[in-house]
């Protein structure tokens, strides 16, 4: 019989991918689905980055690189941190990794074990809690409250620290935006401008829905509307009904943590046209269901 380490039974799922699978299955059945569930930007990578990758391939940059990343890239990160925050960071303390989850995995594995406590933002990225539980450490949610503008409260966070606290995960603004390093910034500026237009569209549209209010998000491309005024007691049930009945895929707030009840998450990494159509469908659905 195959015996694996118990810790692998304690890895959670990122429910956005389950919603994506269900949305894909409904679309395969011929249903018209607008997917605001997943945060997959609909922009191509800026052209100068693509050209740099093609040049590296042609120039023969094909062999092993240092496992922490090539020095010119680490130096560029250091310069960018200096430009943004005025801090001096030694490039030898910079490590390049393929994606964000790797950093969480490494940091949580490095500090997490039974008896240790790890503080993490809640609602937040579901993988924080999943990884903490995987290591056997105790997950301690730091509440991210709408009344604090979805930032953490220093007092509340400090009060959660104990002698067993090993790691405190901070992400502020929550799910921060695009990191553009050296090179022309026009493409990035254009993307940011377009996300800004969509953000205004989403926030205005959500605030016009019956029972819904939405603060303006300050990072990334997600809105986190408060839906507690809709009469739906369960945000996950509302998300599921929106997908099945109105053809709009969104994620229920509880998929991002215990403090996520009463909220939905919508990605606006989608076209303005799709965002408008999705808002109309949600409006129709909520008016019909409120009337029912």
* 105: contact with a copy of itself by CB under 8 A: no
Among 50, 161, 179, 193, binds a copy of itself (CB under 8 A): 50
The answer to whether residues 247 and 31 touch, using CB atoms and an 8 Å cutoff, is: yes
Identity of the residue, 15 or 153, whose beta carbon is nearer to a copy of itself in the bound complex: 15
**By CB under 8 A, residue 110 contacts a copy of itself:** yes
Selected from 9, 30, 63, 72, the binder of a copy of itself by CB under 8 A is 63
x-or-dash string of contact with a copy of itself, 201-220, rule CB under 8 A: --------------------
Map residue 77 onto helix, strand or coil.
Answer: helix
Q: How is 173-242 classified by DSSP, letter by letter?
A: SSS------SS--HHHHHHHHHHHHHHHHHHHHHHTSTT-B-PPP-STTEE--B-GGGS-S-HHHHHHHH
Count Cβ atoms within 10 A of the Cβ of residue 63 and give its class: 0-12 exposed, 13-18 middle, 19 or more buried: exposed
Q: Whose Cβ is closer to a copy of itself: residue 63's or residue 72's? A: 63
d(CA 206, CA 224): 10
Beta pairing, strands 138-145 & 117-122: parallel
Which of these segments, 53-61, 85-93, 170-178, 223-231, binds a copy of itself (CB under 8 A)? 53-61
Number of residues that bind a copy of itself (CB under 8 A): 26
Q: Please, what is the minimum distance in Å from the beta carbon of residue 168 to a copy of itself?
A: 13
**139 is a contact residue toward a copy of itself (CB under 8 A):** no
Q: How far apart are CA 95 and CA 107, in angstroms?
A: 12
Stretch that binds a copy of itself, among 39-47, 187-195, 250-258, 260-268 (CB under 8 A): 39-47
Residue/partner pairs of 178-182 with CB below 8 Å, 24 or more apart: 179/80, 181/76, 181/77, 181/79, 181/80, 182/76, 182/79, 182/80
Choose one: 107-115, 125-133, 223-231, 249-257; the region binding a copy of itself (CB under 8 A): 107-115
Which of residues 24, 25, 92, 113 is near a copy of itself by CB under 8 A? 113
If we measure between CA atoms, which residue out of 105, 148, 145, 109 comes closest to residue 127?
105
Residues 3, 30, 85, 158: which binds a copy of itself (CB under 8 A)? 3
Contact flag: residue 58 with a copy of itself (CB under 8 A): yes
Report the interface residues with a copy of itself, using CB under 8 A. Answer: 3-5, 8, 40-41, 44-45, 50, 53-54, 57-58, 60, 62-64, 98, 109-113, 116, 135, 166
């Amino acid at each position: 019989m195959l015996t694996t380490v118990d810790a692998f039974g304690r890895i959670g799922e990122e429910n956005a991918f389950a919603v994506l699978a269900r949305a894909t299955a409904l679309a395969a059945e011929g249903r018209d689905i607008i997917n605001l569930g997943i945060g997959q930007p609909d922009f191509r990578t800026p052209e100068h980055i693509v050209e740099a990758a093609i040049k590296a391939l042609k120039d023969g940059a094909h062999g092993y690189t240092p496992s922490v990343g090539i020095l010119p890239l680490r130096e560029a990160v250091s310069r960018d941190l200096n430009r943004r925050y005025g801090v001096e960071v030694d490039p030898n303390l910079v490590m390049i990794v393929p994606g964000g989850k790797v950093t969480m995995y490494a940091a949580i594995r490095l500090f997490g074990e039974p008896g240790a406590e790890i503080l993490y933002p809640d609602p937040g990225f579901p993988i924080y809690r999943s990884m903490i539980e995987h290591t056997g450490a105790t997950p301690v949610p730091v509440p991210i409250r709408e009344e604090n503008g979805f930032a953490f409260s220093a007092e509340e966070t400090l009060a959660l620290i104990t002698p067993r606290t090993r790691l405190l995960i901070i992400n502020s603004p929550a799910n921060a935006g695009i990191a553009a390093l050296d090179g022309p910034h026009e493409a990035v500026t254009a993307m940011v401008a377009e996300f800004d237009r969509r953000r205004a569209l989403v926030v205005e549209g959500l605030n016009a829905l019956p029972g819904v209010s939405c603060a303006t998000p300050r990072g990334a491309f997600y809105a986190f509307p408060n839906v507690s005024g809709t009469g739906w007691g369960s945000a996950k049930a509302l998300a599921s009904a929106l997908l099945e009945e109105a053809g709009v895929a969104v994620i229920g707030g509880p998929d991002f943590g215990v403090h996520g009840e009463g909220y939905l998450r919508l990605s606006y990494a989608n076209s303005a046209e799709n965002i408008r159509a999705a808002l109309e469908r949600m409006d129709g659905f909520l008016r019909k269901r409120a009337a029912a």
